[in-house]
Amino acid sequence: TQLLEQSPQFLSIQEGENLTVYCNSSSVFSSLQWYRQEPGEGPVLLVTVVTGGEVKKLKRLTFQFGDARKDSSLHITAAQPGDTGLYLCAGAETSGSRLTFGEGTQLTVNP
């Protein structure tokens, strides 16, 4: 079973600060997805990255897939209270295989 380790586990910051969360593995993934989950709801997909070295931007969120396709990062610029939630990364070993989820990073952005 592949393992995805996310860090930090918890992060509490002030509005306007920047932050980066990490998703690391010793295994290679064909693709990696990032989800955000708000309290009492199911996770919602933010982005999928498939190419080593790929960078994708979604407004203030920047996602990067490592060159070796073993790790990924999510950077948030000028965080807002609405960014509060549990951020989950999930990797697929091969195209068509099931996802393995990380344990998540719980982000709290204080006004």
Q: In the complex, what is the shortest distance from the CB of residue 4 to another protein, in angstroms, rounded to a whole number? A: 8
DSSP letter for each residue of the chain: ----EEE-SEEEEETT--EEEEEE-SS--SEEEEEEE-TTS--EEEEEE-STT-EEEETTEEEEE-TTSSEEEEEESS--GGG-EEEEEEEESSTTPPEEE---EEEEEE-
Can residue 99 be called a binding residue for another protein (CB under 8 A)?
yes
From residue 32 to residue 71, the character string flagging contacts with another protein as x (rule: CB under 8 A) and all else as - is -x------xxxxxx--x-----------------------
Q: In the complex, what is the shortest distance from the CB of residue 6 to another protein, in angstroms, rounded to a whole number? A: 8
Binding site for another protein (CB under 8 A): 1, 6, 33, 40-45, 48, 88, 90, 92, 95-99, 101-104, 106
